[in-house]
Amino acid sequence: MPEPRSLLDKVWDAHAVRTLRSGQTQLFIDTHLVHEVTSPQAFGMLRDLGLKVLMPERTFATVDHIVPTHTRVEPFEDPMAAEMIAHLRRNVAEHGIAFFDVGSGRQGIVHMVGPELGLTQPGTTIACGDSHTSTHGAFGAIAFGIGTTQVRDVLATQTLALSKPKLRRIEVNGTLGPGVYAKDVILHIIRTLGVKGGVGYAYEYAGDVFDRMTMEERMTVCNMSIEGGARFGYVQPDATTVAYLRGRPYAPQGADWDAAVERWLAFRSDPGCRYDDVVEIRAEDVPPTVTWGINPGQAVAIDECVPRPEDVPPGERQAVEEALAHMQLEGGQPIAGTPVDVAFLGSCTNARLSDFVAVAEVLAGRRVHPRVKAIAVPGSEHVKSECERLGIDRVLKAAGFEWRAAGCSMCLAMNPDKLVGDQLCASSSNRNFKGRQGSPTGRTVLMSPVMVAAAAVTGVVTDAREVFGVGREVVA
Amino acid sequence: MSAFEPVIRVTGTGVAVCGDDIDTDRIIPARFLKCVTFDELGEGLFYDERFAPDGTLKGHPLDRPACAGASVLVTGANFGCGSSREHAPQSLVRAGFRAVVAGSFAEIFFGNATNIGLACVRLAPDDLADLTARVQADPTLPVTVDLEAMRVEAGDRGYAAAMPDSARTALITGTYDPLAELLEGLPQVRATALALGHEVPS
């Protein structure tokens, strides 16, 4: 009997080219994704070294971080944004790299584009100069963020020098309560294990909660693995994965399809394989969760109070004080009722079709609170057109949301979408770091898209279950 | 392929930037990522921590006159968490830092930093607190990060440091930029690609 192996073991072994002198592995990267912000220097280094792209057909590029979402008319107002996009256009043309440009129908946040096009496949290795590359783990891929020097390494050699992480299985079993979403599951995991809990680990998300999740929900979970310190996390490929991929432009077709499915499913972790750690969480214990502080682990249930510095261990007191000061919150106050200035629906965490469908269902016939600026930014041109085909954009606009073009937008505020001053944003994104949304004093409260909708309507951080009667019998 | 200077010992003065979970958005805010080279990034280092919106200094440790020229950053646990932006270690290097001594490092930051020759070592919590206090008390105190001995020396005090062997070896032997060795493996890369079912142009 061969030793039972995890998906991580199998993918790692299949992609290990050789062991380097440092002891690290030279790991083959099947799919390399590129965007405009972390790639120009890498192409520049390649040019300086006189190297070419080794396997241009394995790299795919789009623009997402810096592209404006309020207009698609070029030249863009920001000359530096225009220059970075021009650099990418020149680089992909020079090296023969597939490029999903604005207006192609395939542009979008790089972590939405890969899955939509069927580029993201089980058992593959995927790298991108963006930490949220962990999103692709939803398909049973080993997918992780890299720096720009490593982008150069992939371009030049299609490999990276890496150390294999330890593996932690996070099992969530049971039934999620009404009004509890995938976003709440991952926020709860990060709150439980901490923002450094995953350093040195890969996360294998398992249990019947993940088994029942759609691919879009699994992507939301895997997306935030990095916020828990784990460079990547994955869900085992199954029938849901296979059904999602069937017919996508880059998915295998015809006779190749059946062979691919067989190969993909064989990457599943073997029963009895070894884990370095196992964590079990009851689905019933996961509440609608929101952050109160300045990292994604500083989170509470929507009906809880924010911590008081004196309630936490002495080593954490200073961090709590710093977070409370930045957020302008008093220790011990309920998080619910905190006034909101901006509502942001978007980002690679929660800007997929299902997110906008869920929001449109609760927003129909409601209005955004007069104090709140509300923007909805589909993650991709594909999601945008699907929403428009289904009339979801009309529901959002009627409620008072601005309906934008696809991009990263206010998640990291490299384009004109930014908080102003100390505005507080109810956000479906992934990071509540100080200054993250474009203003050094801006404040971010992370939550699920339906909770963002509830905050937009009421003007305060609030329990969507109460505002919308989520989970109660709704008369159609 | 140019050879790289081995990084065996870094000696200089230190500056303490206290706190755990200092993320890369804080190290270099996203607006400074609008660039096509890394050359100017030193100016953006910890920018919003150092400057008020009106451009006045907020009194950050980096701006203490006595800390000018420091080359060893002393900080807390999980340093460099968040975004994968290599701009974070690039901005530290361009601002003159050659080593970071922390409680621990976020993984992507650690890889990005050591790949460009920035020495990153961990200290045990009590030792880190002691070093932090000494550096704060005396910004002129010489601090040495010794990767061969795996020690941090500060004046008459020394501490055992830790770092993964692979990164330590790479820094000491000047092979921290992995590209040359990755290129040596290209014949095997092609073989692996073929075994994975990819078409490989000859």
**Chain B CB contacts of A66 below 8 Å:** 34
Summarised one tens digit per residue, pLDDT across range A60-112 is 999 999 999 999 999 999 999 999 999 999 999 999 999 999 999 999 999 99
Q: What distance in Å separates the CA atoms of residue A268 and residue A10, rounded to the nearest whole number?
A: 9
**Chain B CB contacts of A24 below 8 Å:** 166, 178
Domains of chain B, earliest start first: 9-177 (3.20.19.10)
What integer pLDDT is reported at residue A476 of this predicted model?
40
Q: What is the Cα B74 distance to its own chain's centre?
A: 10
**Start-to-end C-alpha separation, chain A:** 56
Mean pLDDT within B41-56: 96
ipTM confidence score: 0.97
Q: What distance in Å separates the CA atoms of residue A64 and residue A405, rounded to the nearest whole number?
A: 10
Summarised one tens digit per residue, pLDDT across range A418-430 is 999 999 999 999 9
Contact flag B86-A163 (C-beta cutoff 8 Å): no
What integer pLDDT is reported at residue B202 of this predicted model?
67
Q: Scan residues 47-86 of A and list those with Cβ closer than 8 Å to B.
A: 49, 54-55, 57-58, 65-66, 78, 80-81, 83-84
Summarised one tens digit per residue, pLDDT across range A276-319 is 999 999 999 999 999 999 999 999 999 999 999 999 999 899 99
* CA distances for B36 relative to A66, A373, A407, A420, B30, angstroms: 13, 33, 20, 26, 14
> In terms of CATH architecture, what is A7-277?
2-Layer Sandwich (3.30)
Q: What is the Cα B181 distance to its own chain's centre?
A: 22
Percent of chain A clearing pLDDT 90 (strictly above): 97
Q: Scan residues 68-97 of B and list those with Cβ closer than 8 Å to A.
A: 77-78, 81-87, 89
Q: Is the fold of A7-277 the same as that of A292-468? A: yes
Of A377-386, A453-462, A464-473, B181-190, the least confident: A464-473
A136 close to B (CB below 8 A): no
* pLDDT category of residue B2 using cuts at 50, 70 and 90: very low
Mean pLDDT within B180-201: 95
What integer pLDDT is reported at residue A470 of this predicted model?
72
Q: Nearest-5° angle of CA A460, CA A462, CA A468?
A: 115
Number of Cβ pairs closer than 8 Å across A and B? Answer: 204
Q: Does the pLDDT value for residue A475 go beyond 60?
A: no
Contact flag A26-B185 (C-beta cutoff 8 Å): yes
Contact flag B38-A41 (C-beta cutoff 8 Å): yes
pTM exceeds 0.90: yes
Summarised one tens digit per residue, pLDDT across range A102-150 is 999 999 999 999 999 999 999 999 999 999 999 999 999 999 999 999 9
Q: Domain limits of chain A?
A: 7-277, 292-468
DSSP per-residue string spanning A293-323:
SSSTTSEEETTSBPPPGGGS-HHHHHHHHHH
A122 close to B (CB below 8 A): no
The answer as to CATH 3.40.50.150 being correct for domain A292-468 is: no
Summarised one tens digit per residue, pLDDT across range A442-461 is 999 999 999 999 999 999 99
Other Cβ atoms less than 10 A from the Cβ of B156: the count is 7
